[in-house]
């Protein structure tokens, strides 16, 4: 999981820092954002102090109706030692009570000219992206006919060579050797390449090549949602491989589960074509067309008709 600090938020959304400068390195640990309306009314029983606090026109208008003692108490309780920061929206005036309390607890107080709902939406999307669970997988990620195909297998099995052939056939490379995967949402895995090896492909005997330089900007993309995994393995004569496609193997990453196909590798097999067909067949299945299931159904009907005769 990436680390996000208040300073990152200030730079990203061009916020004006009003007070609490000592706390700009405080970490933000959750993408949830609080609008402390009930807290302004004095109810702090369930105050989510670990979240970013957003004060809009509604909260500050109500705050202005309080007496001086309540105003001071509310702001002191709003600023805790674990509160990452407080943002004032619409470019409104920051209450002096908040500035004083934030300076004592080193809670950054920031101001934005954006509307509250718009800033809330953009902040949530940004934090969900940055704080999403992340892992790294040894493999290759390719965009084939709009399907994000993660190619895995042991070192030397031919993953990069297959990716090169797919790029030559008009598909797009996302990452080679190391694929960084983050779970942006339930059942949504997005993969990208580390900055150091972005657009690069390693071919044994040839070395490292830059796919974008050789094939153009249309041959690469920065990230892609992963929906299918194809595992390459050396052909094992003693192993029984699926010949109908009825048995669907699954691969779990975080809380997301994606289909996984095992493709045996041996001389004479065109892996690039096989992966293209696998991607197209995957799209057909999502549209409700399952060739293996249709064949099995027809076979069963033919057997029943033969028994009836």
Bridge partner list, 229: 150, 260
Last residue of a domain, which of 112, 130, 148? 130
pLDDT of residue 245: 67
Q: What is the pLDDT of residues 3-19, one digit of tens each?
A: 899 999 999 999 999 99
Residues 166 and 201 in one domain: yes
Q: Domain tally for the chain?
A: 2
pLDDT of residue 198: 93
Residues 94 and 187 in one domain: no
pLDDT of residue 148: 95
Of 210, 182, 184, nearest to 196 by C-alpha is: 210
Q: Is 243 one of the catalytic residues?
A: yes
pLDDT of residue 246: 66
Q: Is 222 annotated as a binding residue?
A: no
pLDDT of residue 67: 94
Q: Is 300 annotated as a binding residue?
A: no
- pTM equals 0.75
d(CA 145, CA 115): 40
Q: Is 177 one of the catalytic residues?
A: yes
Q: What is the pLDDT of residues 117-131, one digit of tens each?
A: 999 999 999 998 888
Residues 147 and 282 in one domain: yes
Buried/exposed code over 188-220 (b: 16+ C-beta within 10 A; e: otherwise): ebbbbbeeeebbbbbeeeeeebebbeebeeebb
Q: Is 154 annotated as a binding residue?
A: yes
Bridge partner list, 55: 88
The DSSP bridge pattern shows strands 178-185 and 147-153 to be unpaired
Task: Kindly state whether residue 307 falls inside one of the protein's structural domains.
Answer: no
Residues 16 and 164 in one domain: no
Residue 290, helix vs strand vs coil:
coil
Task: Kindly state whether residue 268 falls inside one of the protein's structural domains.
Answer: yes
Q: What is the CATH number of the domain that holds 224?
A: 3.40.50.300
- Tell me the C-alpha to C-alpha distance, in Å, between residue 169 and each of 141, 202, 215: 15, 18, 11
Out of 87-101, 120-134, 218-232, 280-294, least confident range: 280-294
Q: Is 91 annotated as a binding residue?
A: no
Buried/exposed code over 114-152 (b: 16+ C-beta within 10 A; e: otherwise): bebeebbeebeebbeebbbeeeebebbbbbbeebbbbbb
Last residue of a domain, which of 86, 106, 130? 130
Q: Is 7 one of the catalytic residues?
A: no
pLDDT exceeding 90 applies to what percent of the chain?
71
Per the prediction, the chain carries an average pLDDT of 90
Residues 111 and 54 in one domain: yes
d(CA 57, CA 51): 19
Bridge partner list, 302: none
Q: Is 174 annotated as a binding residue?
A: no
Q: Is 309 one of the catalytic residues?
A: no
Pick the catalytic residue: 51, 111, 130, 159? 159
| Confidence category of residue 308, pLDDT binned at 50, 70, 90 | low
Task: Kindly state whether residue 75 falls inside one of the protein's structural domains.
Answer: yes
Question: Per-residue pLDDT for 1 more than 60?
Answer: no
Residue 17, domain extent: 4-130
Task: Kindly state whether residue 305 falls inside one of the protein's structural domains.
Answer: no
pLDDT of residue 269: 82
Q: How many whole angstroms from its chain centre is CA 192?
A: 10
Pick the catalytic residue: 74, 177, 199, 224? 177
Q: What is the CATH number of the domain that holds 40?
A: 3.40.1390.20
| Confidence category of residue 256, pLDDT binned at 50, 70, 90 | confident
Q: What is the pLDDT of residues 79-128, one digit of tens each?
A: 999 999 999 999 999 999 999 999 999 999 999 999 999 999 999 999 98
Last residue of a domain, which of 101, 130, 159? 130
pLDDT of residue 293: 75
Out of 64-73, 135-144, 285-294, least confident range: 285-294
pLDDT of residue 218: 92
Q: Is 161 annotated as a binding residue?
A: no
């Amino acid at each position: 999981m990436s680390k996000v600090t208040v300073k990152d938020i200030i730079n990203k959304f061009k916020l004006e820092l009003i007070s609490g400068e000592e706390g700009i390195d405080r970490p933000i640990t959750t993408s949830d954002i609080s609008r402390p309306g009930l807290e302004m009314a004095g109810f702090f029983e369930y105050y989510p102090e670990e979240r970013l606090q957003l004060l809009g026109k509604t909260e500050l208008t109500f705050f202005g109706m309080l007496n001086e003692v309540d105003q001071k108490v509310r702001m002191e309780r709003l600023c805790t030692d674990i509160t990452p920061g407080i943002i004032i929206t619409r470019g409104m005036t920051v209450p002096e009570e908040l500035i004083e309390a934030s300076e004592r607890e080193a809670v950054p107080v920031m101001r934005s000219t954006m509307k509250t709902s718009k800033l809330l939406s953009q902040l949530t999307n940004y934090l969900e992206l940055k704080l999403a669970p992340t892992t790294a997988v040894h493999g290759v990620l390719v965009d084939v006919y709009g399907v994000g195909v993660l190619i895995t297998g042991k070192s030397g099995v031919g993953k990069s060579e297959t990716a090169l052939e797919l790029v030559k056939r008009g598909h797009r490379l996302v990452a080679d050797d190391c694929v960084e995967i983050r779970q942006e949402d339930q059942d949504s895995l997005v993969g990208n390449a580390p900055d150091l090896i972005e657009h690069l492909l390693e071919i044994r005997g040839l070395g490292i090549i830059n796919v974008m330089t050789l094939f153009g900007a249309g041959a690469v993309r920065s990230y892609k949602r992963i929906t299918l995994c194809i595992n390459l393995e050396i052909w094992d004569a003693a192993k029984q491989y699926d010949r109908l496609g009825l048995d669907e193997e699954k691969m779990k990453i975080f809380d997301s589960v994606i289909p996984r196909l095992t493709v045996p590798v041996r001389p004479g097999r065109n892996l690039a074509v096989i992966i293209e067909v696998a991607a197209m067949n995957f799209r057909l299945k999502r549209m409700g067309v399952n060739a293996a299931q249709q064949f099995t159904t027809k076979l069963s009907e033919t057997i029943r008709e033969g028994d009836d005769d």
